[in-house]
Structure 1
Amino acid sequence: MKFLLVGTTRERGGAEVHFVTLAKALAAAGHEVEAVVYPGAPVALALAGSAVRLHPGRFRNVFDLRGYRVVTAAARRLKPDWLVGDFGKEYWPLILLGRLLRMPVALFRHRIKPMKGYSARLVPRLAQRFFAVSEYARRDYIERGMPAPRVQVLYNPVDTDSCRPDATQRSALLHVLGLDENAIVLGYTGRMLAWKGIFPLLEAVNMAMAREPRLQCIWLGDGTDAQRLQERIAVLPLAHRHQVLGWVDNAQAYYNVLSMLALPSLEPETFGRVSVEAQACNVPVLVSDVGGIPETLQPGATGLLLPPGDVDAWCEAILALCDDATRRPMAAAARDFAERRFSSSVIAAEFVRQLGDAKR
């Protein structure tokens, strides 16, 4: 099949990772894939040098004629079987171009925030396929007025070739971090925002550290509450057992030094990509039972599902995974679970299958 993906975002987030991973996976499966992307943006840089042919373009809004010209030219040359979009500002342009060029349109929604009333009702009806990235997100969209038969679920793909256990990388990073092989390392990676649960997690980690001398913690990411987190850590008696590394371009490499990963969000999220990435590296996870996050693990087998913000429960769960007899079977099961359910090749194949069903 032929695909033209349109994603002129300049941001760096989960939807952008989805766009890049899906495009590469479709190309790796032998499909002809091209993409209209904002030049120099993270998406363009991530796809540079791949099998995906890039067209520089941008949509400031639905009325930006420059974007229409670029997409139209690329579509007329490629003659794609599907136009594919991930970002709200391009929903209506792709729907309009799909009608004009007589090409079907597939759209993804990555946010809980509702679309405006008329868009929530019309966009899923006018696109030939409209995907939520979790069952939770689908239910939420339907409750907000989207027509249930028009909303399908397709999970976020994870590149399990890049996210995989690597003993050499583990040893090198342990050395860089000044940690020995016997350390038990809890990691947080993501935006440093209060609603992400970083402060209850900090409290739970410190309670656990007081009882487990091998426990260390590394924090990866940036955000508006990063400075406040660092200030709270600085005054702790066990501050030396925390490392705040800030934004790291290759955060995936750090999964290899983790004994467990925490995803402690206090508010609903559509999915929880870092949970799957960690499991693909044989890292069990501790995650909040909120939003679409519970769909990213096999509770009790590849990690633990916990009440958001419950410091005592999180402390006990951290200590439970400090026990080798509990942690190691979960670690051993984690990668197989991630590959079977979320690998980019599996999701790309399911995407193609569902698009084929739409054309019948």
Structure 2
Amino acid sequence: MAATRPTILQIIPELDTGGAELSTVEIAQAIVEAGGRALVLSQGGRLAEDLARVGGELMLFPAATKNPVRIARNGYEIARIIKRENVDLIHARSRAPAWSALIAARRTGIPFVTTYHGAYGEKGRLKKLYNSVMARSDLIIANSHYTAGLVASRYRTPSEKLRVIHRGVEAARFDPAAVAPERVTELRKAWGIGPDVPVILQAARLTSWKGQDVVIEAVRRLADEERLGDAVIILAGDHQGRAAYRDALQAQIAAAGLTGRVRMVGHVSDMPAALATSLLAIVASVEPEAFGRTATEAQVMGCPVIATSIGAPPETVKGGPDVSPGQATGWLVPPGDVSALAQAIAEALGLSPDARREMGERARAHVIASFSLKAMKRLTLAVYDELLNKGMVDTWSETSRS
């Protein structure tokens, strides 16, 4: 095995927080499990320790640059790394480093894979050209059918170059039975709320398209109508440099008289505990989510979820007018529709304990069946095998069974 050990190089700007970053670590683990070597070029971040723990190797690299000259120079530097480290395939997960990876792949002749993680706005020809690198690879992984449709329509990408691989959820980690009560107690203490206070959670970085302002307005209406009960709303997520938006949200909370009822708590690393303590999770994005992992994580934790009906969430959440109450795993509402969101929150808060438990059981079973981490690993390794013929899936399958 050592003589044919495949070396896969992933490149991503940072290893901080987000679906693309977490996928990088998870696929690095799959590569190692398949007997390969998993290299990652990145500027580092919160997940660097996790990468090392699963056997991946971080090579610190200025992968976040958007300077055209530096991007080109990075391409030549990556080509040198490919030759020095005997890299078999390069996998890019973001646009700027994908341009560098494309240069390197063409110089060295190795296969090139991209994962299209975002919907990516395309205002103007330059932006469309910039985005197009994600469709210039040998094979393109789309993280949802919605994303695959975008790629096909924007770049006339033939279907034989596209592979839909949904984000996977680790069911063992996101398992209500695996969350110790002490973790919930510690998290509630950090948030400054008592053990019996109902929690509504929105976990998303603080950026306007995630719809925090819509959530605040919906909550204000419910509070004015005395339909919110004692619930506290937790907005979990970093502002990532968008201090003006954070300040605007704080002002909106104060103006609505919701100080103490809506709390901005920053990044939360223990998402299973956050979801375990929540009565409801909200995905309020006003622009399409390419996947939206919070929706699947909430469901697999048995936590009812409200998501907007654009982008990929309709692929992951069973809700809406065409789904009977006995089949629903959550609610889908139009983006930016304060009234619809407020009504869905009220319905969720009004569920009986039995109805909440039954919805949670359906939701967990749905995600385990359709959005597992094992499936994501297997399908991604299969993409590598298409280009390398190294039998990585077979080796990984034997390892995962042992």
- Bin the TM-score by the shorter chain: 0.7 to 0.9
The aligned amino acid for 1:22 is I
* 1:276 has 2:305 as partner: no
Aligned-CA RMSD value: 2.8
The aligned amino acid for 1:279 is Q
* 1:6 has 2:10 as partner: yes
Deviation of 1:237 after TM superposition, in Å, equals 3.9
Cα distance per residue 1:232-289 (max 9 Å; x no partner): 2224444332222123344443122111110111111211011112222221210001
The 8 Å contact of residues 83 and 98 in structure 1, kept in 2 or not, is answered as yes
* 1:306 has 2:342 as partner: no
TM-score where L is the length of structure 1 = 0.86
* 1:38 has 2:45 as partner: no
1:227 pairs with 226, 247, 250, which one?
Answer: 247
Cα distance per residue 1:172-219 (max 9 Å; x no partner): 434554545554321011122222211121121233342142322111
For residue 308 of structure 1, give the secondary structure of its aligned residue in structure 2: coil
The 8 Å contact of residues 22 and 348 in structure 1, kept in 2 or not, is answered as yes
* 1:66 has 2:77 as partner: yes
Alignment-derived partner of residue 216 in structure 1 = 232
Alignment-derived partner of residue 371 in structure 2 = 342
How has the CA–CA distance of structure 1 residues 195 and 139 changed in structure 2, closer, same or farther, with 3 Å as cutoff?
same
Percent identical: 25
Matches within 5 A, 1:121-270: 124=135, 127-149=137-159, 150-165=161-176, 166-168=179-181, 169-177=183-191, 179-180=193-194, 182-209=196-223, 210-223=226-239, 224=242, 225-270=245-290
Provide the rounded CA distance (Å) in 1 between the counterparts of 2:308 and 2:344: 12
2:61 pairs with 32, 37, 57, which one?
Answer: 57
The 8 Å contact of residues 98 and 104 in structure 1, kept in 2 or not, is answered as yes
Cα distance per residue 1:3-49 (max 9 Å; x no partner): 4132251363332222122222443x433231132354345343123
For residue 162 of structure 1, give the secondary structure of its aligned residue in structure 2: coil
Cα distance per residue 1:95-147 (max 9 Å; x no partner): 4444554432221112222586667777645x331111111111112221231
For residue 206 of structure 2, give the secondary structure of its aligned residue in structure 1: coil
Cα distance per residue 1:63-121 (max 9 Å; x no partner): 323333223312x1xx53x3322122333443444455443222111222258666777
For residue 160 of structure 1, give the secondary structure of its aligned residue in structure 2: coil
How has the CA–CA distance of structure 1 residues 329 and 3 changed in structure 2, closer, same or farther, with 3 Å as cutoff?
farther
What runs of 5+ residues in structure 1 fail to find an aligned partner?
Answer: none
How has the CA–CA distance of structure 1 residues 358 and 73 changed in structure 2, closer, same or farther, with 3 Å as cutoff?
closer
For residue 278 of structure 1, give the secondary structure of its aligned residue in structure 2: helix
Alignment-derived partner of residue 347 in structure 2 = 320
How has the CA–CA distance of structure 1 residues 73 and 41 changed in structure 2, closer, same or farther, with 3 Å as cutoff?
farther
* 1:90 has 2:97 as partner: yes
The 8 Å contact of residues 57 and 66 in structure 1, kept in 2 or not, is answered as no
* 1:331 has 2:360 as partner: yes
Provide the rounded CA distance (Å) in 1 between the counterparts of 2:40 and 2:135: 22
Give the length in aligned residue pairs.
Answer: 354
How has the CA–CA distance of structure 1 residues 193 and 172 changed in structure 2, closer, same or farther, with 3 Å as cutoff?
same
Deviation of 1:220 after TM superposition, in Å, equals 0.7
The 8 Å contact of residues 204 and 312 in structure 1, kept in 2 or not, is answered as yes
Provide the rounded CA distance (Å) in 1 between the counterparts of 2:311 and 2:285: 9
Provide the rounded CA distance (Å) in 2 between the counterparts of 1:124 and 1:175: 46
For residue 48 of structure 1, give the secondary structure of its aligned residue in structure 2: helix
The 8 Å contact of residues 19 and 293 in structure 2, kept in 1 or not, is answered as yes
The 8 Å contact of residues 8 and 58 in structure 1, kept in 2 or not, is answered as no
